[in-house]
Amino acid sequence: METVLKVAGYSGQGFSARGEKGRYVLPPAFRKAIAPADTDPRVLCLAKHDRWNCLTGFGLDRTATFDALLDREEDNAVKLGKEFDRELRSIQLWTFSEVPFDASGRFVLPDHLAELCSIDKGICVLGGGQFFTLWSPDQLYAMDPAWDGQKAVCRKLEADAAAKGKGK
């Protein structure tokens, strides 16, 4: 029997150019975090990030934390004297698309999600703990200077992918 350790979070980064069949490739570290064993479902959950113009990605197991996340966000809003629409936030969390991926990490990004975040030629994937983000490079490069480290990583990964593509 295979022993699998549960991943504490998503870390790392990757870049995938859109392939000739319109597919992208999920980096190995992320696909192993979602489906660590061969018997685990290879399902990538994708949703629009609630504040940034990118997608969030996670495995189905993250849904078990949604109620606690809602409680925490509501408590924080109350402490700060801000309004919190629990129903809206719940809908935001639960409105995700389940996208299958193969053993090599290839998946097809649904058109509505690609359009929503202006993803067309490539995706930069950035680890973020309980979820990871998937960015159109142009959208990431438009972020404020607090994102300069992530922009530099994306530029490097994008250049590496382009150089690799020219070598074929």
Q: What local confidence, expressed as pLDDT, does residue 168 receive?
A: 55
The values of phi and psi at residue 41, to 5°, are -70, 135
Report yes or no: 47 and 55 within 8 Å, Cβ to Cβ.
yes
53: pLDDT confidence band, cut at 50, 70 and 90? Answer: very high
Other Cβ atoms closer than 10 A to 129: 9
**Rounded to two decimals, what is the model's pTM?**
0.86
Q: When comparing pLDDT for 43 and 166, which is higher?
A: 43
pLDDT at 30 over 90: yes
| Mean pLDDT on 141-160 | 97
Whether 30 contacts 14, CB under 8 Å: yes
Instruction: Indicate whether 108 pLDDT > 80.
Output: yes
Q: How far apart are CA 13 and CA 7, in angstroms?
A: 16
Whether the CB-CB separation of 71 and 93 falls below 8 Å is answered with: no
pLDDT (0 to 100) of residue 2: 43
* CATH code, 13-60+99-166: 3.40.1550.20
Q: Domain map of the chain by residue range?
A: 13-60+99-166
Q: How far, in Å, CA of 132 to CA of 137, rounded? A: 15
